[in-house]
Amino acid sequence: MAERLQKVMANAGVASRRASEKMILDGRVRVNGKVIKELGQKVDGNDVIEVDGHLIEREEKVYYLFYKPRGVISAAKDDKGRKVVTDYFTDYSERVYPVGRLDYDTSGLLLLTNDGELANRLMHPRYKVNKTYVAKVKGIVQNDELKQLRVGVRLKDGKKSARAKAKILSLDKKSDTSIVSLTIHEGRNHQVKNMLQAVGHPVKKLKRETYGFLTLAGLTSGQYRELTREEVKALYELGNK
């Protein structure tokens, strides 16, 4: 698949996309031996790209489904020295980064890739990718509270959440806790926690179980697998809707 030259340069780690555009305009980039001085040039995997006479190495695109444990940061690095999700991928030469994020104390399904185009599509609010979470909350959830979640609740920032699918999985009156399933397509910070807090049930434990059509089947905490070619294609189709 052909992509814009500056995007390929940015994905290869040459510079940011904007800085790569300046390099092109300054005549520092060659494609198949020809100097490119205008933006808009598209290249594919067969093209040879040089910057200042040096051949750039283009990473193969990789896609992983990761079962993130609790107590791990959804980032490529952390300035406080805490464990990050990419610590689990040290055996690979490709640089990967998470698609979106899960809170430090939230476990579950997280995608990691070096495909910036797919990551941007999946994270964009307009594509409305469904994500299902299972939460253990304080208190016994009532049916009228589920109805509030289904039509949307007013959050801390004053904005109303979108409609959600919500159901009770189990109740434990002895420990005064409930386990609830919540399916949303929004991705605001602490979205699920804030929604459940808004109906009076603080979250004690949270796990993301699905992302679109993907599930954690066959994985335990800390494990991952590569996505199949068919799964990657289906994710692109999700991002095209």
pLDDT, position 41: 92
Model pLDDT, residue 241: 59
Asked if 110 and 68 count as a contact pair (C-beta separation under 8 A), the reply is yes
Identical fold for domains 63-126+214-240 and 130-211, yes or no, is yes
Q: Is the pLDDT at 76 greater than 90, yes or no?
A: no
Q: Which residues contact 107 (CB under 8 A, 6 or more apart)?
A: 67, 68, 69, 70, 206, 207, 208, 221
Determine the pLDDT at residue 31.
94
Strand partners, 44: none
The pLDDT of residue 90: 85
Q: Where do the structural domains in the chain lie, given as residue ranges?
A: 3-55, 63-126+214-240, 130-211
Q: What is the per-residue pLDDT for 172?
A: 96
Please say if the pLDDT value at position 108 is more than 80.
yes
- Which residue of the set 26, 103, 105, 176 is catalytic? 103
Q: Looking at domain 63-126+214-240, does it have CATH number 1.10.10.10?
A: no
CATH 3.30.70.1560 fits 130-211, yes or no: yes
Q: Is the pLDDT reported for residue 239 higher than 70?
A: no
CATH architecture, range 3-55: Roll (3.10)
- Across the chain, mean pLDDT equals 91
Active-site residue 176, yes or no?
Answer: no
* Range of lowest pLDDT (12-16, 136-140, 143-147): 12-16
Judged against a pLDDT cut of 80, whether residue 171 lies above it is answered with: yes
By DSSP bridging, strand 3-4 and strand 42-43 are antiparallel
